[in-house]
Amino acid sequence: MALGTLRLLALLPFSVQLALGRALGGILRRLPVRFVSIARRNIDLCLPELDSAERERLLDRHFASLGIALMEIALAWWSPAARLREMAQVEGLERVRKALERGRGVI
């Protein structure tokens, strides 16, 4: 069911997906689950110079990014290739082609 929901979300305009992703991240961040406390602890340990309010804002942004990433995964998995091509800008494609012609690997 979750994958079906993601598949439907992939049909929405990207701006709507971003808004839904941010909202989902906000919901996840407020759930009493272990991964929220782990993320908070990691931020506390890695960035002790930030005050409490700054660390909480960073935690909010982290979970907003997670929600957006979920929407982007849905987009990548289930959107038609033509839609993805419209959204993407490729730079240096000629370098990729040359490397492939020489039998070199490309990431």
- 18-48 per-position pLDDT tens digit: 999 999 999 999 999 999 999 999 999 999 9
CA dihedral 52, 58, 63, 67 (to 10 degrees): 150
Longest distance between any two alpha carbons in the chain, whole Å: 53
Domain assignment present for 76:
yes
Domain assignment present for 50:
yes
* Mean pLDDT value across the chain: 95
Asked whether 24 and 64 are in contact (CB, 8 A), the reply is no
Domain assignment present for 107:
no
Domain assignment present for 37:
yes
**Is 0.95 surpassed by the pTM of this model?**
no
The token pair that represents 99 in the structure block: 């490397």
pLDDT tier, 107 (very low <50, low <70, confident <90, very high otherwise): confident
Average pLDDT over residues 84-105: 93
pLDDT in tens, 73-83: 999 999 999 99
Domain count, the chain: 1
CA distance linking residue 25 with residue 10, whole number of Å: 17
CA distance linking residue 85 with residue 98, whole number of Å: 21
Residue numbers of the domain that contains 97: 2-101
Helices (H), 1-107: 2-9, 14-30, 34-46, 52-78, 81-87, 93-101
Tokens 């839609």, located at residue: 83
